[in-house]
Structure 1
Amino acid sequence: MNIAIFGATGRVGHLICAHSLEDGHTVTALARTPEKLKNLAERNASLKIVEGNAVQVEAIRKTLQGADAVISALSTDGGSVLSDSLPLILASMKQLGIKRIVAIGTAGVLDSRVEPGLLRYQSSESRRTLTRAAEEHHAAFRLLEESGLDWTLVCPTYLPDGPAEGGYRVEHNYLPENGARITTGDTAAFAYAQLFSEQYSRARAGIAY
């Protein structure tokens, strides 16, 4: 499979990139700083790096050229990069006939158990006083819903760095009850696996231990 990855230098995206290469797939990764992928590129001839950022249409199209599926592990980056870039990525996917995208979101955009009709970040389930990042992820969720593409939004809760531990729980559109954390290793492994599964097609997947 030819996989295009946005956010490949991030905590989760880098691990997804490594999984893809280990399994023999061809990966094209967009990176503002290609040096951050040097360790993978030196060991894998099937990794192609496009230098640029996710709000540059030409860089996006170059990254997507020949792709069978897309991973977006872009973060909010302290600004609007997520909501600015995703419309460009989705539009280019449609133009190139690419249907499948797996994106990394946040548990804040899962449905609230205690206040039906609200998302977790909008409800008393959230302990965060600042909602800017969640609002960015909410905008991304709406864009995916409206895209008409085959999307999955992986929504981890508190996300410490760490290897895959296994034993995590997953639920459609909700965070598993009493879920408190999930490592970057397990989040990356689960998100990567969704490229080959239809179980969470056009849905949010809440993931936690």
Structure 2
Amino acid sequence: MRITVFGSHGRTGLLLVQLLLAAGHQVVATIRNPGHMADLVKLGAETRMVDLDKSAFEDVVEACKGSDAVIFAAGSAAGEGSALDRKGTLRTVRATEKAGVRRYISVSSIGASTGMSTRTMDDEMKDYYKQKRAAAKHIAGSTLDWTLIEPAELTDEPGTGKVTASLVAIKETAIARADVAAVIGAVLTEPKSIGKAIQLAGGGIAINAALNKALG
């Protein structure tokens, strides 16, 4: 498959690019910092300069054209507001539709689709979830074959290959970014995941078994 990855040099995105390439996929890795290009070219990815906040919409569309799937793993950087996450989602969903690509996977945050209470959160986190929920609503209202991955707190620990996955609210147990990347790779061609928001946390069930249990 040819797969466009937005946020390809983030800590989760880079692991995802490596996983997809190792699986034999062709990856179009979008970046907004030219200093990151060498890392991705060395891995074997095709790179495109795309800033989801500032680039022309047609540049976003071009990055999606010819791909079999688009994965949104981007996020706002330190000092940037959470509204950028929502804007990036809206632009990539529209671009994916315009490019004629059907499959779209987005990495969000645990509870964004389950109505998790934000009452005790600080203002920054409340805004973060407000933007994530608006983005999820936009994805769900699109014409795409979408899947939302909503992981708990992310760590940089080595992946375990085991998770907890569910379509309803689950306990927030931290999960390795490598395991999130592996789950994305697993749902990429899984038709049962289309139209689903998967809650994801650390756990003791092998990834494929956990997904089969969650998706039925």
TM range (shorter): 0.7 to 0.9
Unaligned 5+ segments in structure 1 are 112-118
1:90 CA displacement: 1.6
Q: Which runs of 4+ in 1 moved over 3 A?
A: none
How far off its partner does 1:37 sit?
4.5
Deviation by residue 1:137-172 (Cα, 9 ceiling, x = unmatched): 111101101102111110011111122112211001
Letter in 2 for 1:11: R
Summarize deviations over 1:27-65 as a string: whole Å, max 9, x none: 111101143242331242xx1111131132132122112
TM-score with structure 1 length normalisation? 0.86
**1:120 maps to which residue?**
116
Provide TM-score, normalisation by structure 2: 0.84
- Structure 2: which amino acid aligns with 1:205? I
* Secondary structure in 2 matching 1:207: strand
Q: Say whether the 8 Å CA contact 1:54–1:60 is kept in structure 2.
A: yes
Aligned length: 195
Choose the corresponding residue for 2:175, options 155, 177, 182.
182
**Contact 2:27 2:46 (8 Å CA) reproduced:** yes
Q: Distance in 2 between matches of 1:6 and 1:198?
A: 22
Structure 2 partner of 1:105 = 108
User: 1:122 is aligned with what amino acid?
Assistant: T
User: Is the counterpart of residue 204 in structure 1 residue 197 in structure 2?
Assistant: yes
Q: Which residue of 2 aligns with 1:161?
A: 156
Provide the rounded CA distance (Å) in 2 between the counterparts of 1:95 and 1:70.
12
**5 Å matches for 1:20-169?**
20-44=20-44, 47-55=45-53, 56=55, 57-77=57-77, 78-79=80-81, 80-111=83-114, 119-122=115-118, 127-130=120-123, 131-169=126-164
Letter of the 1:62 counterpart: E
Aligned-partner residue type, residue 49 of structure 2: E
Q: RMSD value over aligned CA atoms?
A: 1.7
Alignment match, 1:114: none
Residue 208 (structure 2) aligns with: none
Displacement after TM superposition at 1:194 (Å): 1.3
The percentage of counterpart residues that share the same residue type is: 24
1:67 counterpart letter in structure 2: S
Q: Retained in 1: the 8 A contact 2:61–2:98?
A: no
Q: CA deviation at 1:88?
A: 2.0
